[in-house]
Structure 1
Amino acid sequence: MKLNKPIQLLAISAASLLAAFFLSACATLTVDFVYVTSAQAAGPNSYGEVDVYEINSESGRIRRIVTSPFPSGGRNPVAEAVSPDEADLYVANRDDNSIVQFVIGNDGKLYPQNTVNTPGIFPLATAVAGNFLYVVDTFQPLPTCSPASPCSGAVAVFPILNATQAGALKPAQPADTLGTPLVNTAISASYWPLSLSGAAASDVFVPTAVTAASSGPYVYIAGYDSTTSLGYVFGFVSGSDGTLTSVPGSPLAVGTHPSAIASDKSGAYLYVTDSTRDLVYGFQINGGELAALSNSPFATGGQPSAILLDANAKYAFVANGQDSNLSVYSVSSGNLTRLGSYTTGTQPVAIGIDPSLNQFVFTANFLGNSVSGFQLNSSDGSLLNSQFSPSPSNANPTAVAAITHGSSKK
């Protein structure tokens, strides 16, 4: 049947309106954006990349946005953090000793703004607390240390500037620009070394992870002594100006090879995974000091590589790299009880949870070149695979971060 022209126009208009409705509906279903760094891009000297995914609030599906991936601004990105207003992403590029600031668009896209160098060598972990970015370097700066002549790691503190401060630093700079790293007056340098009183000169403390507890705030760095094969947690309290002071009892001996560290949102408890002993150690935070929980340590799967608590500190999640799964624990007075384990892609190394609903959990799978997604049942802690999970990523994803959809300032 052949339609006359007015009816054709009406049909086209109706179809256009219907398409617009569905596009609008799809847009509103995006609850969060997830950012996944990948260590390897094409070519030995190429930049790493950042994949951007949107999470569907109904199905939990994690899907790349059409313009993804974005260059990370350096080689071998291994860590990332989000500014307090969720408007900027900071990416640590290990092989360039750099932190790149990206402004996040309303559509999740990334816009590179500034690059700063870390004081030490090979940044490996980042955390944000208050208006400060904490960056852990594998080694202290040259000429004291080098990959050929390694020494212990260190932590640097970068102030996150507001719009006025950023503009004073350099005209037309956006808010969340990183300022000059703070000075440790005790050594007249812009970092705080990881050290142990009485340690031998040959002892090298290798950091592996960092977290910032909200109460204090306290900054804790997990690592191990490469000479003695003993694990440690280094604790610092951050002053109002951001400078660091060691907490009493720091560093605390913990396991053999601490691999990941996390605190709950209230800052009451701290957890440290040990990838050699397949355990997670739990502590109560008392004025910065750490007291072991009554039932600690808790068993994990093979080679735990990451740990995260949900926003309500009701559940804890541990990624087991060797087993390629994610274990879920209930949390009661800080103690952990394992509820079950769920298959991920191969070798998960990072865990995230959506900040909007505290409902969608995801892992970056290093050897699987993928991102696994799950929906959390808040009643019993069980996980349901998200639609079309796992989603493909670029080669060797290393870290994850997420923001609430609509939180961007661009």
Structure 2
Amino acid sequence: MKLRKSGRTLLATATTLGLGLGLTSCSPSNTVDYVYVTASKANPGQISVYRADSESGALTQIQDSPYPSGGRNPVGAVTSPDGKYLYVINKDDNSIVQFAIGTDGKLYPQQTCNTPGSAPVALAINKSETLLYIVDFYSPTTPGGPVYSSANPGPGALVAYTVDKSSGKIGGGNCTPVQQTFVDTNNVTQTATYVPVGFSPTGVNALANGNSVFVSAQDALPSATSTLGEVDAFDVDSNGVLSAVTKYPTGTTPSAIASDPTNRFLYVTDSRQNQLITYTILSTGILNPSQNPPIKTDTFPVAITVDPRGTYIYVANYNSADVTAYAINQSTGTPSSVAGASSYATGAGPSCVIVEPALGRFIYTANFIDNTVTGFQLNPNTGALTSNQNSPYLAAGQPTCAAAIPHGNHSTQSVSATAGS
């Protein structure tokens, strides 16, 4: 089964929820993170919520878990950088649902928005928590224009929403996207609630510095015979206005996208050729392809994450049911397999992979086929993984993706550097 999920979720820092919700924390003192796993089998979809143990990384579902996702077929999730909010996209309802996160990890639905296009497949939030990006699989239908579907494919759409930091509300509280201007294929300037991207988009990545946004798409040309994928690069201003930089041919079937926390390197997985492609990011937002050839992954890579220190890359390979691990050359960004075993078995059909943000020591995959979450402990000195206590953990049916927030006084792991030039 081909999954088009956001291979990348942004990790967040911790804070407590406002007293207006009347919440108190009752979680054990050894909880280091809360982990949220979306699942698509039920209608509406579900979100399993877990406490992550600070010593072992073991996951335990909290009381009342799972929660409804607010729509059908949730395929992606991201937490706000202050740890207060969770945003979930429901593909079959064209919706984004905002949840408030209690100090005990519980979820409280706040707002539901419909995207301008249809079938949202990926989302990201900027580090300053002011802009939320959604990628629709099909762009909106223009007056008198075609209605896009699997029978009549069309370009995808990148949508930017402002986010109110005090409430987490989307689009000024009324779901209004940022107005964008672009030149269409007929060389006519258009004003709309989105900018078009390639056909069959799969992922979106917002740089930590907030200056650039990248979208991976599986068809670079509007042709069923196209064999090239692409990365669409955009500059973004503080108001969420996007400016196209350029399009980059990228493998044959780009499936997931992620950047390192120093804004220097961008990584794209190719699920057809089973490879990991590297770019250097210039300070202008322009991408330079690596001088080295792509690195092999295992079979059908669909998700990717970079650890919070910017040292290692982890790729979830759907068909081979494993995670492959790579060390990042800090000068060139080139990945290489970590010492020892380079792949680590997961449950069947891993569709998402994250590193928890509090310590950066535990990794989790959402396994679509066997309805589990696999946990690993990350050795920060080598990048090698070992299985967590009692892993795998049961999840709601057909888990699709995951996000996490730190708990208590744990601070997010991070690095600081300027973009390449």
SS of the aligned residue for 2:177 comes to: coil
Q: What is the one-letter code of the residue matched to 2:139?
A: Q
Q: Which range moves more in the overlay, 141-150 or 119-128? A: 141-150
User: What is the Cα-based RMSD across aligned positions, in Å?
Assistant: 1.7
User: What is the match of residue 226 of structure 2?
Assistant: 228
Which one of 384, 392, 395 corresponds to residue 394 of structure 2? 392
**How many aligned residue pairs are there?**
360
Contact 1:282 1:292 in 2 (8 A): yes
Q: What is the rounded CA distance, in whole Å, between the counterparts of 2:97 and 2:247 in structure 1?
A: 30
Q: What is the one-letter code of the residue matched to 2:236?
A: S
Give, in angstroms, the shift of residue 227 of structure 1: 3.5
User: What is the match of residue 27 of structure 1?
Assistant: 28
> Are positions 1:160 and 2:163 aligned together?
yes
Which one of 175, 181, 190 corresponds to residue 185 of structure 1? 181
Q: What is the one-letter code of the residue matched to 1:134?
A: Y
Which one of 104, 107, 112 corresponds to residue 107 of structure 1? 104
User: What is the match of residue 241 of structure 2?
Assistant: 243
Q: What is the one-letter code of the residue matched to 1:380?
A: T
Q: Which range moves more in the overlay, 207-216 or 53-62? A: 207-216
Q: What is the rounded CA distance, in whole Å, between the counterparts of 1:291 and 1:109 in structure 2?
A: 43
Q: What is the rounded CA distance, in whole Å, between the counterparts of 1:371 and 1:33 in structure 2?
A: 14
Q: 1:373 to 1:178 in 2, by over 3 A?
A: farther
User: What is the match of residue 58 of structure 2?
Assistant: 61
SS of the aligned residue for 1:95 comes to: helix
> Are positions 1:323 and 2:329 aligned together?
no
Give, in angstroms, the shift of residue 63 of structure 1: 1.5
Give, in angstroms, the shift of residue 322 of structure 1: 1.1
Q: What is the rounded CA distance, in whole Å, between the counterparts of 2:247 and 2:210 in structure 1?
A: 17
Cα shift readout 1:35-64 (whole Å, capped 9, x = no counterpart): 0000111xxxx2000000110001110111
Q: What is the one-letter code of the residue matched to 2:229?
A: G
User: What is the match of residue 74 of structure 1?
Assistant: 71
User: What is the match of residue 300 of structure 1?
Assistant: 297
SS of the aligned residue for 1:230 comes to: coil
Cα shift readout 1:199-225 (whole Å, capped 9, x = no counterpart): xxxxxx110111111235211110122
User: What is the match of residue 133 of structure 2?
Assistant: 134
User: What is the match of residue 185 of structure 2?
Assistant: none
Cα shift readout 1:65-107 (whole Å, capped 9, x = no counterpart): 1210000000000011111211000000011111000000011
Which one of 272, 279, 285 corresponds to residue 283 of structure 1? 279
Contact 2:230 2:254 in 1 (8 A): yes
Unaligned runs of 5+ in 1: 1-23, 164-173, 196-204
User: What is the match of residue 252 of structure 1?
Assistant: 248
User: What is the match of residue 416 of structure 2?
Assistant: none
Q: What is the rounded CA distance, in whole Å, between the counterparts of 2:312 and 2:327 in structure 1?
A: 5
Q: What is the rounded CA distance, in whole Å, between the counterparts of 1:375 and 1:266 in structure 2?
A: 23
Give, in angstroms, the shift of residue 380 of structure 1: 1.4
Contact 1:224 1:230 in 2 (8 A): yes
Give, in angstroms, the shift of residue 194 of structure 1: 1.5
Alignment of 1:87-98 (within 5 A): 87-98=84-95
Contact 2:57 2:362 in 1 (8 A): yes
> Are positions 1:268 and 2:264 aligned together?
yes
Which one of 202, 205, 223 corresponds to residue 211 of structure 1? 205
Q: What is the rounded CA distance, in whole Å, between the counterparts of 2:170 and 2:116 in structure 1?
A: 17
Give, in angstroms, the shift of residue 396 of structure 1: 0.9
Q: What is the rounded CA distance, in whole Å, between the counterparts of 1:175 and 1:403 in structure 2?
A: 15
Q: What is the rounded CA distance, in whole Å, between the counterparts of 1:185 and 1:253 in structure 2?
A: 23
SS of the aligned residue for 1:236 comes to: strand
Contact 1:80 1:90 in 2 (8 A): yes
Q: 1:108 to 1:30 in 2, by over 3 A?
A: same
Rg: which structure is higher?
1
Q: Which range moves more in the overlay, 55-64 or 180-189? A: 180-189
Q: What is the one-letter code of the residue matched to 1:28?
A: S
Contact 1:296 1:335 in 2 (8 A): no
Q: Which range moves more in the overlay, 51-60 or 293-302? A: 293-302
Contact 2:171 2:178 in 1 (8 A): no
Contact 1:262 1:308 in 2 (8 A): yes
Alignment of 1:145-156 (within 5 A): 145-147=147-149, 148-156=151-159
Give, in angstroms, the shift of residue 28 of structure 1: 0.8
Unaligned runs of 5+ in 2: 1-24, 183-189, 411-421
Which one of 380, 400, 403 corresponds to residue 401 of structure 1? 403
Q: Which range moves more in the overlay, 323-332 or 223-232? A: 223-232
Give, in angstroms, the shift of residue 176 of structure 1: 4.1
> What is the TM-score with the length of structure 1 in the denominator?
0.85
Cα shift readout 1:9-41 (whole Å, capped 9, x = no counterpart): xxxxxxxxxxxxxxx997110000000000111
Give, in angstroms, the shift of residue 243 of structure 1: 0.7
Contact 2:26 2:104 in 1 (8 A): no
Give, in angstroms, the shift of residue 151 of structure 1: 1.0
Q: What is the one-letter code of the residue matched to 1:62?
A: L
Contact 1:259 1:272 in 2 (8 A): yes
Q: Which range moves more in the overlay, 141-150 or 264-273? A: 141-150
Give, in angstroms, the shift of residue 289 of structure 1: 1.0
Q: What is the rounded CA distance, in whole Å, between the counterparts of 1:396 and 1:299 in structure 2?
A: 27
Q: What is the one-letter code of the residue matched to 1:87?
A: K
SS of the aligned residue for 1:153 comes to: strand
Q: Which range moves more in the overlay, 355-364 or 141-150? A: 141-150
Q: 1:177 to 1:183 in 2, by over 3 A?
A: closer
User: What is the match of residue 12 of structure 1?
Assistant: none
Contact 1:271 1:280 in 2 (8 A): yes
Give, in angstroms, the shift of residue 149 of structure 1: 2.8
Give, in angstroms, the shift of residue 407 of structure 1: 8.1
SS of the aligned residue for 1:150 comes to: coil
Q: Which has the higher contact order (CA 8 A, sep 6+)?
A: 2
